[in-house]
């Protein structure tokens, strides 16, 4: 059995520990000799008796007590049992090392959470689920301060697209710090909403500002600013720098980038994606034209060419037929003219007494007394001047003074030469 002294010794040994804890500094009291006593607690406690622990921050620590107030911290502490005169034993904790300090006060975190909770209670849609990617991005509503560097950063990143006419930037100035910042932002959001109404499906709203202390971003956590932001089309934010804490406006936005330049790069990527889609659409259009227009057109042209060739052939046949008919008419006319000009045609109209021609007559005299005869050949009519040129079966046309007669040669008898 231990005595009271042994019990206290056991308790002292059991409580002498070193731990790393995460908590929020919810209070601070100055101590003796420059020390400070920090009250650690749970910042999210909502009911009941919240847990509290008082720790001593000794003089000479790298971080001051004022810098830790209302911030989440990670501390290495040493606990032990201490006797107080007239108060009995109690647990004492000393800060050995400050390992991490939140970049923004807990009040800013609570304000942001309250704002987002209010948006959910009002049923206002926000966040990435409200993003409607523009298929043909044409206009950017840029909300920025006209005195900061953020506006210039965005202009430099997007100037190639603006100079070529691929993008139009509508600048809406706003104040981001000071007592009038909240009202200025709400008015700027309303102006951007009205300006983008015509280009709703082809525009985005870009809100950018440069870096600064965490307290400077407080207007972006206001309920009125967040409520106005939910009405903006495709809201993209680029607030502060890489180490800037997230604001309620970042949570409301469809897309959130770490810096203004990163937000401009996001817009640039959207423009390049639109150009890629346009090229693909043109390629599909060319393929559709090839399939739906050019191929049928070539088939129709070939069919028309065949029909044209057939029509030309028909015309040629008709022309040949007409020419043959004309040729026959010319042939008949020529034969009539020859008959009229022949010696037979010039003979006197007095009736002539035929006299038999002896078989031994002079060929020259017989030729003058013979009528004009033609033989139809592929090359046209040929005059027949001698019986020796005839063959049985030859069809002859005999021109007489009062007309023409067509006969067929049955046999040929040649005159006997003396």
Q: Does residue 399 lie in a domain region?
A: yes
Find out whether 379 and 405 touch, Cβ atoms under 8 Å: no
Q: How confident is the model at residue 291 (pLDDT cuts 50, 70, 90)?
A: confident
3-class state of residue 33 by DSSP: helix
113 and 78 in one domain?
no
> Over 80: is that where the pLDDT of 382 sits?
no
CA distances from 363 to 368, 399, 411, 412, 418 (A): 9, 20, 20, 16, 12
Give the pLDDT of residue 285: 82
In terms of pLDDT, which residue wins out, 416 or 326?
326
CATH number for the domain that contains residue 22? 2.40.50.140
DSSP 48: S
**Last residue in a domain, options 275, 297, 332:** 275
User: How far is it, in rounded angstroms, from Cα 187 to Cα 192?
Assistant: 9
Over residues 238-266, the mean pLDDT reads 89
CB atoms within 10 A of CB 175: 18
CA distance 51 to 39: 10
Q: Looking at the domain assignment, is residue 79 inside a domain?
A: yes
Q: Which of 84, 102, 120 is the last residue of a domain?
A: 102
- Supply angle C-alpha 134, 139, 143, rounded to 5: 110
In the sheet where 403-408 sits, what is the strand order?
Answer: 380-384, 372-377, 395-400, 403-408
Spatial contact of 394 and 388, defined as CB atoms under 8 Å apart:
no
Establish how many alpha carbons lie within 13 A of residue 142's alpha carbon, considering only the half-sphere containing its beta carbon: 24
* 26 found inside a domain: yes
315 located within any domain: no
Between 359 and 195, name the one with better pLDDT: 195
Query: The CATH number of the domain where 177 resides is what?
Result: 3.40.50.10550
**Same-domain status, 148 and 247:** yes
Residues 155 and 253 in one domain: yes
State the Cα–Cα distance between residues 232 and 253, nearest whole angstrom: 9
- 15 versus 87: the higher-pLDDT residue is 15
Place 48 in a pLDDT band, splitting at 50, 70 and 90.
low
Crossing angle for the helix pair 150-163 and 260-289, nearest 10 degrees?
20
Name which of 3-17, 157-171, 255-269 the model is least confident about: 3-17
List pLDDT tens digits, range 270-279.
Answer: 888 887 877 7
* Same domain? 95 vs 202: no
β-bridge pairing 88-101 and 139-144: unpaired
Give the confidence band of 246 by pLDDT, cuts at 50, 70, 90: confident
Kindly state the average pLDDT of the residues 127-146: 88
pTM here? 0.54
Instruction: Quote the longest CA-to-CA distance of the chain.
Output: 192
- 239 pLDDT higher than 80: yes
As given in the structure block, the two tokens for residue 150 are: 């953020």
Report which of residues 301 and 84 the model is more confident about. 301
Q: Give the rounded percent of residues in the chain with a pLDDT score beyond 90.
A: 21
Task: Please check whether residue 416 lies inside any domain of the structure.
Answer: no
391 by DSSP, 3-state: which?
A: coil
Greater confidence (380 vs 149) lies with 149
Which residue range is the domain that position 35 belongs to? 4-43+50-102
> Is residue 206 located within the same domain as residue 122?
yes
| Residue 326, in any domain of the structure | no
In which order are the strands placed within the sheet that holds 235-239? 168-173, 139-144, 203-209, 235-239, 255-257
The total number of structural domains that make up the chain = 3
Does residue 88 register a pLDDT over 70? no
Are residues 60 and 177 both part of a single domain? no
Q: Give the pLDDT confidence score for residue 186 in this predicted structure.
A: 94
Average the pLDDT over 390-416 and give the result: 81
pLDDT tens per residue across span 294-349: 778 888 888 888 889 888 888 888 888 888 878 777 777 777 676 666 554 444 44
In this structure, the number of other CB atoms found within 10 A of the CB of residue 74 comes to 14
Report residue 76 as tokens: 């290495």
Are both 253 and 125 inside the same structural domain? yes
Work out whether the CA dihedral 56, 61, 66, 71 comes out positive or negative.
negative
DSSP string, 41-81: E-TT--SS---EEEEEE-TT-SS-HHHHTTSEEEEEEEEEE
pLDDT at 144 over 90: yes
Mean pLDDT of the chain: 81
Q: Is residue 387 part of a domain?
A: yes
One domain for residues 31 and 162? no
Task: Give the mean pLDDT of 192-217.
Answer: 84
Please tell me the distance from the alpha carbon of residue 134 to that of residue 141, in angstroms, as a whole number. 14
Asked whether the predicted pLDDT for residue 209 surpasses 70, the reply is yes
pLDDT over 80 at 227, yes or no? yes
Helices assigned H by DSSP within 105-243: 106-121, 150-163, 181-195, 223-229
Q: Do the domain assignments include residue 347? A: no
Q: The tokens 């939910």 sit on which residue?
A: 230
Does residue 97 sit in the same domain as residue 172? no
Report the alpha-carbon distance of residue 359 to residue 153 in Å, rounded: 128
- In this structure, are 119 and 263 located in the same domain? yes
Residue 2 confidence (pLDDT): 62
Letter string b/e over residues 31-44, b meaning 16 or more CB atoms within 10 A of that residue's CB: eeeebbbbbbbebe
Between 337 and 230, whose confidence is greater? Answer: 230
Same-domain check for residues 86 and 194:
no
CA-based torsion, 380, 385, 389, 390: positive or negative:
positive
Q: Which residues contact 71 (CB under 8 A, 6 or more apart)?
A: 24, 25, 101, 102, 104, 105, 106
Which whole number is the average pLDDT over 42-46?
62
Lowest-pLDDT range of 40-44, 72-76, 213-217: 40-44
Report the length, in residues, of the chain: 418
Whether residues 8 and 39 fall in one domain? yes
């Amino acid at each position: 059995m231990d005595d009271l002294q042994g019990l206290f010794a056991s308790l002292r040994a059991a409580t002498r520990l070193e731990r790393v804890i995460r908590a929020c500094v919810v209070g601070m009291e100055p101590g003796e000799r420059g020390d400070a006593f920090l009250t650690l607690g749970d910042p999210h406690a909502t009911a009941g008796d919240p847990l509290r622990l008082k720790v001593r921050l000794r003089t000479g620590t790298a971080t001051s007590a004022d810098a830790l107030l209302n911030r989440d911290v990670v501390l290495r502490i040493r606990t032990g049992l201490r006797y107080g005169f007239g108060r009995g034993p109690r647990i004492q904790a000393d800060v050995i090392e400050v390992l991490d300090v939140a970049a923004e006060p807990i009040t800013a975190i609570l304000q942001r959470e309250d704002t987002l909770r209010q948006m959910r209670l009002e049923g206002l849609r926000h966040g990435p689920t409200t993003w409607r990617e523009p298929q043909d991005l044409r206009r950017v509503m840029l909300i920025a301060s006209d005195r900061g560097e953020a506006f210039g950063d965005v202009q430099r990143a997007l100037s190639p697209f603006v100079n070529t006419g691929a993008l139009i930037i509508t600048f809406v100035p706003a104040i981001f710090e000071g007592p009038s910042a909240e009202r200025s932002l709400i008015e700027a959001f309303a102006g951007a909403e009205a300006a983008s109404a015509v280009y709703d499906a082809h525009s985005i709203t870009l809100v950018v500002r440069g870096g600064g202390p965490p307290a400077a971003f407080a207007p972006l956590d206001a309920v009125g600013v967040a409520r106005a932001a939910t009405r903006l089309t495709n809201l993209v934010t680029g607030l502060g720098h890489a180490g800037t804490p997230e604001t309620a406006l970042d949570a409301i936005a469809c897309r959130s980038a770490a810096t203004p330049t990163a937000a401009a790069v996001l817009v640039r990527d959207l423009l390049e994606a639109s150009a890629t889609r346009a090229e693909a659409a043109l390629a599909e259009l060319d393929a559709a034209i090839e399939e739906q227009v050019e191929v049928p057109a070539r088939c129709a042209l070939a069919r028309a060419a065949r029909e044209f060739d057939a029509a030309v052939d028909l015309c040629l046949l008709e022309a040949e037929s007409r020419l043959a008919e004309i040729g026959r008419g010319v042939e008949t006319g020529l034969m009539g003219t020859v008959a009229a000009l022949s010696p037979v045609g010039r003979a006197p109209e007095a009736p002539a007494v035929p006299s038999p021609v002896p078989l031994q007559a002079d060929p020259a005299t017989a030729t003058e007394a013979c009528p004009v005869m033609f033989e139809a050949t592929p090359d046209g009519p040929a005059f027949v001047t001698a019986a020796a040129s005839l063959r049985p079966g030859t069809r002859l046309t005999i021109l007489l003074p009062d007309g023409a007669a067509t006969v067929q040669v049955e046999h040929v008898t040649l005159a006997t030469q003396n």
